[in-house]
């Protein structure tokens, strides 16, 4: 049994639980010191590898690593940096492998979404060709919930819980004010391509009569007249109307609602989000008083209301990634496999990266009601277990205690600098 070092990096938009996966990777690696020597983390994701700017996780205390489990954001820094095509930008991959070779890194754990699964796969292939084989394991993460095969993506369950809880709470607020004030409330949530997050808002109520009365999915072409008609009917029937809108809601021709096409005084394209666009329609056509909220980063960083299921799964895929590496696996991803809905039972399976990379999982049409404004019973059965359970962080003086790592750098070994 050879002993080699390992490299871990966070990729893309962070989540409330990506650090729980980091915790799973690090704690499990520490249990196998005979096989895994040092565990380095990329500072700011894969950029840290390219620049040979790595953090020695071994310098962090046991308590600090344990606290990652309840700390949102990306504790080592993440990056929106996609390695380009291997044909045209081979130098990037070669640099990556040069850094790995210099630090004797035999295990590469890459924690991200579809793009990073693809990178992971390429690193695995290229390193073999270059005579320095690296076992590349992808650790799934994305609030978008769009990775194939896995039942869900760590990060999604907590956003889903945040959106469901927030929708239920705001709906109570609007309901109590509707007689004399706001009648329409719009919550804008993430999801540019897939409506999974918007769908989660549907868990706030049961069926058509309860808020949210309308969900606008990216998957369903937006029909302004039909939408306004429904808003009007809701206000007539229930005195108010709650709308959850995905940032990716779009017209039939693919144009985003958020793309108002208007230009401001400075000649710049209007910034306005989709919530504002929808609010303006309601005001102009129906004249109802409205309010809108844009959850933005709050939704994906809200560790204070994380789903316990999600936290457990995030940790589990981190742990499984290390175990798979130690079992000699390469170019695979630990996936969550659903065994049953009620009670929700799941296990960790193993998926070849070739089957994960470059495939997006969209909401199936059968998860959306026929009128396009709500979620079906099948969708509920899928979503409900994912938001189950609370996993509160510890608090001090009214605020959650989130860990701030020391982040001590690994001394550089390469003479060459790399330009991004």
Residues catalogued as catalytic: 144
Q: Is residue 323 a contact residue for its own copies (CB under 8 A)?
A: no
Least distance to its own copies from the beta carbon of 214, Å? 16
Among 23, 39, 52, 73, the residue binding its own copies under the rule CB under 8 A is 73
Which residues does 147 contact at the CB level (< 8 Å), separation at least 6? Answer: 113, 114, 117, 140, 153, 356, 361
Contact range with its own copies by CB under 8 A, out of 107-115, 116-124, 289-297, 405-413: 289-297
Q: Is residue 64 a contact residue for its own copies (CB under 8 A)?
A: no
Tell me which residue of 142, 165, 217 sits closest to 370, measured CA to CA.
Answer: 217
* Closer by beta carbon to its own copies, 299 or else 330: 299
| Contacting its own copies within 188-227 (CB under 8 A) | 203-204
Q: Is residue 172 a contact residue for its own copies (CB under 8 A)?
A: yes
Among 119, 142, 307, 330, the residue binding its own copies under the rule CB under 8 A is 307
Q: Is residue 23 a contact residue for its own copies (CB under 8 A)?
A: no
Least distance to its own copies from the beta carbon of 331, Å? 25
Binding-site string for its own copies from residue 360 to residue 389, where x marks contact by CB under 8 A and - marks none: ------------------------x-xxxx
Q: Is residue 392 a contact residue for its own copies (CB under 8 A)?
A: yes
Q: Is residue 119 a contact residue for its own copies (CB under 8 A)?
A: no
What is the spatial distance between Cα 345 and Cα 335, in angstroms, rounded to a whole number? 14
Q: Is residue 87 a contact residue for its own copies (CB under 8 A)?
A: no
* Closer by beta carbon to its own copies, 251 or else 297: 297
Q: Is residue 251 a contact residue for its own copies (CB under 8 A)?
A: no
Among 26, 295, 311, 379, the residue binding its own copies under the rule CB under 8 A is 295
Among 179, 370, 415, 417, the residue binding its own copies under the rule CB under 8 A is 179
Contact range with its own copies by CB under 8 A, out of 166-174, 345-353, 363-371, 410-418: 166-174
* Closer by beta carbon to its own copies, 174 or else 357: 174
| Tokens 């369950």 belong to residue | 157
Least distance to its own copies from the beta carbon of 10, Å? 7
* Closer by beta carbon to its own copies, 44 or else 119: 44
């Amino acid at each position: 049994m050879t002993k080699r070092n390992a490299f871990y990096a966070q990729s893309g938009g962070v989540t409330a639980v990506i650090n729980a996966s980091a915790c799973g990777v690090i704690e499990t690696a520490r249990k196998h010191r005979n096989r895994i020597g040092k565990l380095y983390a990329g500072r700011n994701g894969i950029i840290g590898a390219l620049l040979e700017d790595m953090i020695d996780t071994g310098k962090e205390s046991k308590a600090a690593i344990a606290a990652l489990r309840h700390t949102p954001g990306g504790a080592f820094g993440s990056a929106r940096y996609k390695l380009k095509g291997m044909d045209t930008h081979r130098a990037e991959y070669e640099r990556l492998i040069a850094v790995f070779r210099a630090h004797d890194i035999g295990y590469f754990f890459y924690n991200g979404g579809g793009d990073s699964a693809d990178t992971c796969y390429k690193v695995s292939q290229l390193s073999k060709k270059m005579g320095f084989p690296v076992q590349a394991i992808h650790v799934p993460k994305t609030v978008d919930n769009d990775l194939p095969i896995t039942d869900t993506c760590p990060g999604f369950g907590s956003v889903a819980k945040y959106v469901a809880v927030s929708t239920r709470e705001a709906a109570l607020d609007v309901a109590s004010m509707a007689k004399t004030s706001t009648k329409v409330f719009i919550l804008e949530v993430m999801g540019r391509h897939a409506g999974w997050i918007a769908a989660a808002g549907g868990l706030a109520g049961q069926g058509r009569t309860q808020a949210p009365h309308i969900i606008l999915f990216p998957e369903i072409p937006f029909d302004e007249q039909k939408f306004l008609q429904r808003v009007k009917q809701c206000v007539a029937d229930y005195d108010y109307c709650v709308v959850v809108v995905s940032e990716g809601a779009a017209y039939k021709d693919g144009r985003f609602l958020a793309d108002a096409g208007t230009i401001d005084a400075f000649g710049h394209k209007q910034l306005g989000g989709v919530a504002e666009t929808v609010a303006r329609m309601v005001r102009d056509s129906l004249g109802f008083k409205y309010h809108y909220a844009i959850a933005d980063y709050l939704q994906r960083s809200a560790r204070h209301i994380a789903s316990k299921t999600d936290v457990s799964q995030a940790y589990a895929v981190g742990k499984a990634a290390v175990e798979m590496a130690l079992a000699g696996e390469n170019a695979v991803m630990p996936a969550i496999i659903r065994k049953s809905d009620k009670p929700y039972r799941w296990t960790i399976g193993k998926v070849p990266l070739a089957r994960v990379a470059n495939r997006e999982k969209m909401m199936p049409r059968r998860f959306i009601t026929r009128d396009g404004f709500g979620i079906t019973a099948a969708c509920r059965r899928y979503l409900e277990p994912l938001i189950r359970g609370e996993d509160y962080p510890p608090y001090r003086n009214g605020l959650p205690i989130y860990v701030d790592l020391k982040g001590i750098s690994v001394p550089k070994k390469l003479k060459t600098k790399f330009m991004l």
